[in-house]
Structure 1
Amino acid sequence: MVAPSFTAYLYPVLLLVASNVFMTVAWYGHLKFKTAPLMTVILISWGIAFFEYCLQVPGNRMGSAVYSAPQLKGMQEVITLVVFAVFSATYLGQPLKWNHWAAFALILLAALLMFKE
């Protein structure tokens, strides 16, 4: 049996990071447009989420060849938090405070336990 290549581990992570950028925009991008009609932002968010799924589904499918489902989920949570932290500070102008970082660190620790044999 041949060991998986480095790219077999890397590509799913890259796809999940890219998919998370789309999902974060879909979920939180509309917060800068609070006067836009709700139905409009829902439809736009659905359109953005379509591209998230186009990246997330293959990322998880490819990732399942080298990661377990719990590992993929733990990884996804950490990626989500990192992408959100950058998005919140740069796009929304709401940098995270110490307690947010502490909570994220605890989630990171929990996710790392997924990789413990």
Structure 2
Amino acid sequence: MSFYLSLSLSLSLSLSLSLSLSLSLSLSLSLSLSLSLSLSLSLSLSLSLSLSLSLSLSLSLSLSLSLSLSLSLSASLYLSASLYLSFNFSLVLSFLSPSHFVLTSHAHSFSP
């Protein structure tokens, strides 16, 4: 009878050990799952950071493009203003030239 009792005790001990091992395995699996979840979260955070960096780069590129466009517009306005001033200066010089005075005096002398 004591043999059966000892055998049953040993079986119960082995069962408890196997249960504890299975519990430890399940705990390790849950830990590995939590680690994989944290890794996936960190990957998603890094992806969002890279997306925000690319958006900021595109914004800076668009700002530089608008700046270059405004600079080219100001340069074209400066060029048109300088051309207008040079044209006006050439008109003033043509009116102030001696040949203009000679032609106008001849025109006044030939008029009836």
Same fold (TM over 0.5): no
Which structure shows the bigger proportion of residues in helix conformation? 2
Higher relative contact order, chain-length normalized (CA < 8 Å, sep 6+): 1
Larger of the two Rg values belongs to structure: 2
Give the alignment's TM-score, normalised by structure 1: 0.26
